[in-house]
Structure 1
Amino acid sequence: MTQTPASAAPLLRIQNLSKQFGVGPGAVRAVQNVSFDILPGETLGLVGESGSGKSTIGRMLTRLIEPTDGSLLYRYETREVDLARLSQGALRPLRADIQIIFQDPYASLNPRMRIRDVLGEALSTHGLAPGAARQKRIDELLEQVGLRPEHAERFPHEFSGGQRQRIGIARALAVEPRFIVADEPLSALDVSIQAQVVNLLGELKERLNLTLLFISHDLDVVEYLCDRVVVLYLGRVIEVAPTEALYARPRHPYTQALLAAAPIPDPAQRREIPLLSGDLPSPKNPPSGCVFRTRCPLAESRCAQADMQLRVVGEGHLQACWKAQ
């Protein structure tokens, strides 16, 4: 884990980002007024339960789905551009700057294409490595992610899950991006392979000076890989902090419960914080006030009207509970 200067100008500023699926009473508010910064060269972790909006945010940042509201202010060359407002034509030059690694490495690869064609398609789309340089660049990409040049002639089904994810990483790197969204890149892999992919991401990030948004539900990996962490609950940001501070002293009761839910290898060790009861509320009808109040051990009547504004509780540490200290 590297340390990024807190004074660095953000590479990406997410401001009041929202996403609603559908209209009328059945509409799902998947993400609501989310704001945070991503600094150049850092690895920012995005965590929360399933259904908290993590992948939706990642796909909005890459414009694979369109935001309903809010701004995505990205520092491109010498200016700041709002990705959320750009037409597809205006966005095209920035596509090489911003890439994504998908959760399912098999579903994201065309089963009818050889790997040289998968990687070559990315290069040709952006006009990179033309002619004789194409094959050399493909060989370099495969070697960069721990595969061999001869693997370029194989089809996706001829690889293991870990190898397919390496190919997905190579495809993201092919266009020399500055910023990569890694959308739960480990969840479809065997535990024995996950550490290899985590180490690969860390090495590539350092070597290529990449900025990563690492979306995951594996809190141990987030602690190991990330510089800062954003915690989501029901599409809202409820805590942001440097990784070391968050794991040493989580302030929001949801973050406390989330970390307490991580497996303990010693069966005789008792949990200091009880696990949450109940299920995540429906994003179609979220609770009023603080959306966590229906599961919160600190909840009282005021929480139904309380706002969820982030409050500073330490250096670079913000949380959205008015009672938590």
Structure 2
Amino acid sequence: MHQEEQQQPLIEVRQLKRYFGDARKPVRAVDDVSFTIQPGETLGLVGESGSGKSTLGRSLLRLIDPSAGQVLYRGEDITRAGSGRMRELRRKLQIIFQDPYASLNPKMRIADILGEALDTHGLAKGREARAARIAELLDLVGLRPEHGTRFPHEFSGGQRQRIGVARALAVEPEFIVADEPLSALDVSIQSQVVNLLCDLRERFKLTMLFISHDLDVVEYLCDRVVVLYLGRVMEVAETEALYAQPLHPYTRALLAASPQPDPEAPHRPVPLQGDIPSPMNPPSGCVFRTRCPQAQARCAEAIPPLTEVRPGRFSACWRQELFV
């Protein structure tokens, strides 16, 4: 990777917000989120259900329009792009949806589902070229050309998710949002899809935002991790550093709640108690303070900024002494 490529993020998110509902009492699904994704990087996005992960992922692609802030793709602010420009950008910005049962049109054959993307962007000239490309896409994800004649209901969940991956790859994207692509699958086939994503990422030099609540998969697949809680970023770090020594109290609690296969491992903190608050009525100051074992009075007074507390490590917490 050239030096200038390292300095130019493929995706840059600046103070992104997505609110829903009444302007006087909005649901703050995503609230002032900023981060970057470098070319070829897989960035993990983790947090409990209800923390805004899927809304953030869809806002990046303008499947949901942000309420405020910017999303830059190669320096271009796509939040300001018109419908014609966004149509062009769809080739480079794709998504793998969470539910392989709901994301495929049940009335269309698989070849038509994949061919629709090719037709929309004019990527296959002529019937033979179109059929060859569809067969190639099916082969890429471990399916056979004859599968193209079948309907979605004739496939297992894992096979449907492979078709979803093939559809995303059909337009030769640079960036893919993988929105919890394993959560609807049986554990026995999740590893197959993870290995497929790893292989395709290396083969096509893809950049990816991988959204998941499965911390073990994120540790295996991702280069860096963004920890989200109630629509706000709590911590950003390289994966190895974050798992070896989580800094933010919320990150520590998340890891504490994950299954521990090694009974001889060092003792971990007690997992979180209680439920995540409503985004309609978030706590004042630090949104995590109502469940934080280290909370102090000042945590209720102001929102802590996301600060670089160590080289390449960012945390939003007033308790800086915790990071020494």
TM-score above 0.5, yes or no: yes
The AA in structure 2 aligned to 1:259 is L
Give the whole-Å Cα distance in 1 for the aligned partners of 2:262 and 2:245: 21
Give the whole-Å Cα distance in 2 for the aligned partners of 1:254 and 1:57: 19
Among 197, 200, 205, the alignment partner of 2:201 is 205
Q: Deviation of residue 269 (structure 1)? A: 6.7
Q: Counterparts in 2 of 1:129-278, with a 5 A limit? A: 129-131=124-126, 132-265=128-261, 271-278=267-274
- Residue aligning to 1:106: 101
How many positions carry a matched residue from both structures?
319
- Residue aligning to 1:297: 293
Q: Deviation of residue 24 (structure 1)? A: 3.7
**SS at the partner of 1:294?**
helix
The AA in structure 2 aligned to 1:19 is R
For the 8 Å contact 1:13–1:37, the answer to whether it is kept is: yes
Give the whole-Å Cα distance in 1 for the aligned partners of 2:65 and 2:302: 30
For the 8 Å contact 1:260–1:271, the answer to whether it is kept is: no
For the 8 Å contact 2:12–2:35, the answer to whether it is kept is: yes
Give the whole-Å Cα distance in 1 for the aligned partners of 2:154 and 2:25: 43
Q: Deviation of residue 181 (structure 1)? A: 0.3
The AA in structure 1 aligned to 2:72 is L
Q: Counterparts in 2 of 1:21-36, with a 5 A limit? A: 21-36=20-35
For the 8 Å contact 1:110–1:118, the answer to whether it is kept is: yes
Q: Deviation of residue 25 (structure 1)? A: 4.1
The AA in structure 2 aligned to 1:130 is K
**SS at the partner of 1:31?**
strand
For the 8 Å contact 2:6–2:39, the answer to whether it is kept is: no
For the 8 Å contact 1:8–1:40, the answer to whether it is kept is: no
Q: Deviation of residue 314 (structure 1)? A: 1.8
For the 8 Å contact 1:10–1:39, the answer to whether it is kept is: yes
For the 8 Å contact 2:46–2:228, the answer to whether it is kept is: yes
The AA in structure 1 aligned to 2:166 is A
The AA in structure 1 aligned to 2:205 is N
CA RMSD of aligned residues (A): 1.7
Q: Deviation of residue 162 (structure 1)? A: 0.3
Give the whole-Å Cα distance in 2 for the aligned partners of 1:5 and 1:219: 32
Q: Any unmatched runs of 5+ in structure 1?
A: none
Instruction: Give TM-score scaled by structure 1 length.
Output: 0.95
Give the whole-Å Cα distance in 2 for the aligned partners of 1:239 and 1:154: 44
Q: Any unmatched runs of 5+ in structure 2?
A: none
Deviation by residue 1:147-172 (Cα, 9 ceiling, x = unmatched)? 00010000000000000000000000
For the 8 Å contact 2:284–2:303, the answer to whether it is kept is: no
Q: Structure 1 residue 94 and structure 2 residue 89: aligned?
A: yes
Give the whole-Å Cα distance in 1 for the aligned partners of 2:15 and 2:309: 21
- The 1:321–1:223 alpha-carbon spacing in structure 2 relative to 1, beyond 3 Å, is same
Instruction: Give TM-score scaled by structure 2 length.
Output: 0.95
Deviation by residue 1:270-304 (Cα, 9 ceiling, x = unmatched)? 84201111111110010111111100011111111
Give the whole-Å Cα distance in 1 for the aligned partners of 2:14 and 2:169: 27
Deviation by residue 1:19-39 (Cα, 9 ceiling, x = unmatched)? 000124442010100000010
Give the whole-Å Cα distance in 1 for the aligned partners of 2:166 and 2:96: 9
Q: Deviation of residue 266 (structure 1)? A: 5.1
- Residue aligning to 2:65: 66
Among 115, 118, 121, the alignment partner of 2:113 is 118
